């Protein structure tokens, strides 16, 4: 079932400005893991902000669970359903203690305190940060802070997480912990995920990859479909995942390898089995 439905979306920041999003038609199904990639300025963040009504379509429509973001009366409901996580964890954490931070969302929903406590404990457990609940956020690593930010959104029990480059400011370890948290939330809770990233390695496990270019959806398909289109990927100023790039070079030098190698383990196994 489609959770997000975008029809003929056009957007510009001001009435005389350039169109930043053009003719975007997109559906995201409930439980789907969608990764959006695209060169700088292709419109990814603008699109993300439209998904919870932070920006409203200039033309066309966005519906979340059948509710249009254009109707002001829907915005409260839509913001509960679509939780946003941004690049900089420091801008998203407000309280001095982790559990207070995570409680902020459910408190705003007006839930009773027992219920808030349950939600906070549950959300911290889901992101693997329960043992840090009495810690001060500013003492945590970037990856831990970002997982706290995700817990804060989760505590609102949204249907969908929209993450705009959540790993951009993290070291490799932090990046890995955030990605495995997002993947786990999708697999174990069935959480719908829209993940925007510049790291192609983060797209290899997506159900679907969407490539944005110049405000349009340029390509759409499974990782296997998208990464097979090597020339188009390059045309949109994107790279292949590192392992796929390596596999391609090995193919060029004469090794008999399939086209859909994105993960190290798979490449190693295939190389070991070559005669």
Ligand X SMILES: Nc1ncnc2c1ncn2[C@@H]1O[C@H](COP(=O)(O)OP(=O)(O)OP(=O)(O)O)[C@@H](O)[C@H]1O
Give whichever of 6 and 102 is closer to Mg ion, judged by the CB atom: 6
46 binds, among ligand X, Mg ion, none (CB under 5 to 8 A by kind): ligand X
Nearer to ligand X among residue 157 and residue 175 (C-beta): 175
CB distance 8 to 60 below 8 Å: yes
**In angstroms, what is the minimal distance from the CB of 48 to Mg ion?**
8
CB of 92 to ligand X, least distance (A): 17
Q: Among ligand X, Mg ion, none, what does residue 143 contact (CB within 5–8 Å per kind)?
A: none
Q: 38 or 223, CB closer to ligand X?
A: 38
Task: Using CB under 6 A, list all residues that contact ligand X.
Answer: 13, 20, 38, 40-46
Interatomic CA distance for residues 143 and 141, integer angstroms: 5
- Half-sphere exposure at residue 8, Cβ-oriented, CA atoms within 13 angstroms: 2
Q: How far is the CB of 31 from ligand X (least distance, A)?
A: 25
| Identity of the residue, 21 or 111, whose beta carbon is nearer to ligand X in the bound complex | 21
142 binds, among ligand X, Mg ion, none (CB under 5 to 8 A by kind): none
Q: List the helix and strand counts (H, then E) for the chain.
A: 10, 10
Choose the one of Mg ion, ligand X, none that binds residue 175, judging by a C-beta under 5 to 8 angstroms depending on kind. Answer: none
What is the side-by-side order of every strand in the sheet holding 208-213? 82-85, 160-164, 192-196, 33-38, 208-213, 216-221
Report the alpha-carbon distance of residue 102 to residue 116 in Å, rounded. Answer: 9
- The nearest distance, CB 273 to Mg ion, in angstroms, is 41
Output the 3-class SS for 203-253: HCCCCEEEEEECCEEEEEECHHHHHHCHHHHHHCCCCCCHHHHHHHHHHHC
* Smallest separation, CB 44 to ligand X (Å): 3
Q: Is residue 35 classed as helix, strand or coil in its secondary structure?
A: strand
Tokens of 38: 């695209």
Tell the smallest beta-carbon distance from residue 180 to ligand X (Å).
Answer: 23
Binding mask 39-68 for Mg ion (x = CB under 5 A): -----xx-----------------------
Nearer CB in complex with Mg ion: 163/204: 163
For residue 114 the two structure tokens come to 């027992």
**Residue whose CB is less far from Mg ion, 6 or 163:** 163
The residue with tokens 């993960």 is 263
To the nearest 10 degrees (0 to 180), the angle between helices 242-252 and 264-273 is 30
Binding residues (CB under 5 A) for Mg ion: these are: 44-45
């Amino acid at each position: 079932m489609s959770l997000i439905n975008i029809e003929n979306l056009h957007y510009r920041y001001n009435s005389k400005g350039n169109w930043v999003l053009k003719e975007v038609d997109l559906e995201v199904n409930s439980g789907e893991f969608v990764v959006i990639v695209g060169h700088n300025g292709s419109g990814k963040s603008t699109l993300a902000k439209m998904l919870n009504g932070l920006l409203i379509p200039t033309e066309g429509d966005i519906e979340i669970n059948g509710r249009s973001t254009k109707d002001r009366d829907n915005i409260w409901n839509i913001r509960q359903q679509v939780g946003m996580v941004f690049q900089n964890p420091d801008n998203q954490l407000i309280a001095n203690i982790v559990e207070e931070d995570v409680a902020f969302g459910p408190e705003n929903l007006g839930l009773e305190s027992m219920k808030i406590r349950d939600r906070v404990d549950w959300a911290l457990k889901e992101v693997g940060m329960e043992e840090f609940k009495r810690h001060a956020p500013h003492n945590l690593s970037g990856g831990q802070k970002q997982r706290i930010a995700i817990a804060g959104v989760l505590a609102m029990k949204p249907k969908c997480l929209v993450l705009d480059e959540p790993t951009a400011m993290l070291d490799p370890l932090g990046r890995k912990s955030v990605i495995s948290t997002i993947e786990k939330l999708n697999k174990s809770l069935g959480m719908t995920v829209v993940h925007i990233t510049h790291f192609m390695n983060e797209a290899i496990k997506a159900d679907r990859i969407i490539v944005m270019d110049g405000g349009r959806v340029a390509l759409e398909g499974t990782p296997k479909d998208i990464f097979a289109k090597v020339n188009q990927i390059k045309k949109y100023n994107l790279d292949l995942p590192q392992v796929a790039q390596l596999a391609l070079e090995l193919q060029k030098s004469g090794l008999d390898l399939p086209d859909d190698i994105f993960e190290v383990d798979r490449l190693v196994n295939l190389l070991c089995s070559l005669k």
